[in-house]
Structure 1
Amino acid sequence: MVTDIIREESPLFEKSSIDEFYVDITGMDRFIQTSYLWSQELRKKILKETHLPISFGLSTSKTVSKVGTGEAKPNNHIQILEGNEKSFLAPLSIKKIPMVGDKTYHKLRSLGIEKVKTVQDMPIELMERVLGKNGIIIWKKSQGIDNTPVIAWHERKSISSERTFEKDTTDVVKLRSILVAMAENLAYQLRNGNKLTACITLKIRYSDFQTYTKQRRVSYTSLDHTIINTVLDLFEKTYNRRILIRLIGIKLSHLIGGSYQIRLFEDSEKIIKLYQAMDSVRNKYGKNALQRAIGMEVKSIGNETNPFNGQKPILPITIGNKH
């Protein structure tokens, strides 16, 4: 909801994390009294429509605005005018500067550096000797110097997964198993991201590097069985050269936000509840906690454009008959 409001109201914005945005409002003063007033109105709208606490810092760069936002928290706002950036940063802890993590902070503290002002007064060459290239960046940020632009944010329009084989293969059983595992994982990603796909593409690259793709439009879906059945059907129609395969891949595109709507004559409440239960287990224990039996021997799905990180290896639970 917050993203939608910012997208609707802002001329240019960057979504740097799930709950942090940068908005470039250069030139807004031509349309309203001040940029600060516009920023306050945006904050009020988000508060009214989401009832979430929200803070902002308004200044001339990403660094100063981010530090300002931190100072305005938990639910306030602050403006650092042009020319006041350096004096605003000076009394703050050096840890407030982006890029100064725990390791860098302890190193700076060991040198007697606690406040940003100390870095501001240091020669840039000394910071470079102490921290290398990062020292130069931290010195500039401490001065309020940051020319990093706001990068326009675009919602992901596709997710994909590919597998390149160390040894080219014609093992159809193995290929189907990998495709099922890929499709199952991508479907889980869709549901976990509250997305639906309307186009499924299969990619095959042979040992002679000839590459073929085939795609099919489907009704918006995020269900395993629909995506898997479509992928396997595309595979049967595409794999007709009967020579060694070097790479296979799946792409789900034409993504939109939203939850799956049950189709009256094709779906059942039972199957929807099954997927919800499966996703609940995966969210708690990792994406491989549940998998279809046909894909249980697949050790590696391949390279993914939207991988999940930090999941614990556990004993998988299989669904269905291995044969």
Structure 2
Amino acid sequence: MEFKRHIVHIDLDSFFVSVERRINPDLIGKPVIIGGSKDRGVVASCSYEARQYGIHSAMPSAKAYKLCPHAIFLHGSHGRYSEASREVTQIIHNSVPLYQKTSIDEFYIDLTGMDRFYDPYQLATDLRQQVITETGLPISFGMASSKTVAKMATNQAKPNGQLRIEHGREKEFMAPLNISKIPMLGEKTCEKLYQYGVEKIGDLQKCNLRFLESVFGRAGKYIWEKAQGIDYSEIVPHSERKSISTEHTFHQDTADQRTLETMLVSMTEELAFKLRSENKLASCLAIKIRFNNFETHTLQEKIALTSAEHILIPGIKNLLKRAWNQHRPIRLIGVKLSQLCSGSYQINLFEDNEEQIKLYKAMDNINFKFGNKTVCRAAGMEIGQRNFNPFQAE
């Protein structure tokens, strides 16, 4: 008897936009663009209404504004999106035996073997409805025998839909789709295939394996297998991250201590806010410095469990003094907090006072509501609006 896999791919539709619409229903049905302003920045996410004007993620905001001047531009809030992602993750965690979180808004679930007890498609359907009911966020899923086909099914089911590809019908489903619909098939690869008259996946399915290997080398077999719906990759179980970091490359190398310390304060505030929003504590801090000759140094130090800036910032500044002689120009600087564990900053009561804890809670509440950096230290204000992209995959 053939062993059948049941893989589900879940994707939260226009996730950042959907979270904003949950807070402000007036945005529903309107072209919404997340990321930067109409004058600068890039599009991190946009609504389906905005996509109708040719707008897509990673497009310069100025170009998006030209395409759709009446669009609503929002800076967005990393805190809000992380919190919404955690809500969905918790529902999935409580509902299925094995899942993989591949980004803030995307999951793979393995229901293989569940058909002995349940209908896997019905289980996935019920899970989707639970997410919609409990979070108010639109969500789509695809179900198939592999991760590749499941993801393609999700893309066809959007927006806010679901689609199952029966076992044995993978090639039939894929055949009429453009080759660009195959996940991880790059633009240059597609352009080369177009030159050979290969536009639909059905055309690619008919290609000789040796021909593809002669054109693309080792990647030829990978391309051929994807077109046939062959994908044996496993679901990697979800695990909590053990570190959190951020770094900044200066437009011009700098040896100015005030500039460097201001940047470090801003970066450390950023990471500390993320720690507290995820109910995490760090017990190791590190600094990364890359000089103008590309020589890179890292220095780390063990600390008591904390997520409080008034403890982290002096530690980071001290590492800077130890790693830098205040003469060599610096090209890049980074901060990393690691050896994370779950917990709140109540653990630090022996070194914090009640006023400080209340202050952090008040700051976090404001930043969660109105966006990261709404409230921050004066020392970080100059860099507070630097080119930080809160939408990068974590």
Alignment CA distance shift 1:257-1:147 (3 Å): farther
Q: CA deviation at 1:70?
A: 1.0
Task: Confirm or deny: 8 A CA contact 2:264 2:316 kept in the other structure.
Answer: no
1:170 — aligned with what?
none
Please state whether the residue corresponding to 1:11 is helix, strand or coil: coil
Task: Confirm or deny: 8 A CA contact 2:147 2:231 kept in the other structure.
Answer: yes
1:198 — aligned with what?
281
2:88 — aligned with what?
2
Q: Counterparts in 2 of 1:280-291, with a 5 A limit? A: 280=373, 290=382
Task: Confirm or deny: 8 A CA contact 1:199 1:254 kept in the other structure.
Answer: yes
Structure 1 residue 251 corresponds to structure 2 residue 343: no
The structure with more radius of gyration: 1
Q: CA deviation at 1:270?
A: 11
Structure 1 residue 63 corresponds to structure 2 residue 148: yes
Q: CA deviation at 1:257?
A: 8.4
TM-superposition CA deviations, 1:234-274 (whole Å, max 9, x none): 87xxx9xxxxxxxx9863443448899x974335489838x
Structure 1 residue 143 corresponds to structure 2 residue 228: yes
1:127 — aligned with what?
212
Task: Confirm or deny: 8 A CA contact 1:200 1:231 kept in the other structure.
Answer: no
TM-superposition CA deviations, 1:61-102 (whole Å, max 9, x none): 001101111111112211112111111111211111112233
Please state whether the residue corresponding to 1:140 is helix, strand or coil: helix
Alignment CA distance shift 1:137-1:79 (3 Å): same
Amino acid paired to 1:290: E
Please state whether the residue corresponding to 1:23 is helix, strand or coil: strand
State which of 92, 107, 115 in structure 2 corresponds to 1:29.
115
Structure 1 residue 216 corresponds to structure 2 residue 304: yes
Distance 1:15 1:202 in 2: 26
Q: CA RMSD in A?
A: 4.4
Please state whether the residue corresponding to 1:86 is helix, strand or coil: helix
Task: Confirm or deny: 8 A CA contact 1:200 1:227 kept in the other structure.
Answer: no
Alignment CA distance shift 1:156-1:282 (3 Å): farther
Distance 2:114 2:200 in 1: 34
Alignment CA distance shift 1:106-1:148 (3 Å): same
Give the fraction of aligned pairs with identical amino acids, expressed as a percent: 35
Q: Which runs of 5+ in 2 are unaligned?
A: 1-86, 248-256, 288-298, 323-333, 347-351
Which stretch of structure 1 is more off in the superposition, 262-271 or 78-87? 262-271
Alignment CA distance shift 1:250-1:270 (3 Å): closer
Q: CA deviation at 1:6?
A: 1.0
1:272 — aligned with what?
363
Task: Confirm or deny: 8 A CA contact 2:121 2:143 kept in the other structure.
Answer: yes
Distance 1:37 1:251 in 2: 42
Alignment CA distance shift 1:255-1:290 (3 Å): farther
Structure 1 residue 186 corresponds to structure 2 residue 303: no
Q: CA deviation at 1:280?
A: 3.2
Alignment CA distance shift 1:30-1:269 (3 Å): closer
Alignment CA distance shift 1:15-1:270 (3 Å): closer
Task: Confirm or deny: 8 A CA contact 2:140 2:161 kept in the other structure.
Answer: yes
Distance 2:115 2:221 in 1: 33
| TM-score normalized by the length of structure 2 | 0.55
Distance 1:212 1:96 in 2: 44
Distance 1:225 1:35 in 2: 50
Task: Confirm or deny: 8 A CA contact 1:47 1:53 kept in the other structure.
Answer: yes
| TM-score normalized by the length of structure 1 | 0.65
Please state whether the residue corresponding to 1:217 is helix, strand or coil: strand
Distance 1:270 1:44 in 2: 33
Alignment CA distance shift 1:10-1:290 (3 Å): farther
Distance 2:300 2:374 in 1: 36
Distance 1:196 1:181 in 2: 24
